[in-house]
Amino acid sequence: MTLKILAPAFATIFLTGCGSAASKIPAAFFTCADGTHFSASFPDGKARVNLPGQKTAVLPQVRSASGYWYASNRYQLRGKGKTATWTADQHAPVQCKAQP
């Protein structure tokens, strides 16, 4: 049910292609106020976050009253539509935007 809420919220920002099943997985590229940038895909109720120079982080989906929320013990991605908050390790959260 949460995926049904998530998919329309991201519909305008995700780049999806035709053809293979892999191309149907929603994905977005985020840029953040502190200069951080990363891409994320959202298969099977998880966020797979690709940070430059690091291994892919897999964040399980967390129940959210509104928008989306994915969290692991190191990272957290929360947001609604094109805006998101990214938290890495114990650092302060940073505001990010999904790019078209």
Map out the domains of the chain as residue ranges.
2-99
Tens digits of pLDDT across the chain (100 residues): 444 444 444 443 444 444 455 568 889 999 999 999 999 999 999 999 999 999 999 999 999 999 999 999 999 999 999 999 999 998 999 999 999 8
Tell me what pLDDT residue 40 has: 98
78 HSE (CA, 13 A, CB side): 13
The 8-class DSSP code of residue 10 comes to: H
Rounded to the nearest 10 degrees, how much is the dihedral formed by the CA atoms of 34, 10, 18, 3?
A: 120
Fold entry, domain 2-99:
Lipocalin (2.40.128)
Q: What's the pTM value of the predicted model, to 2 decimals?
A: 0.76
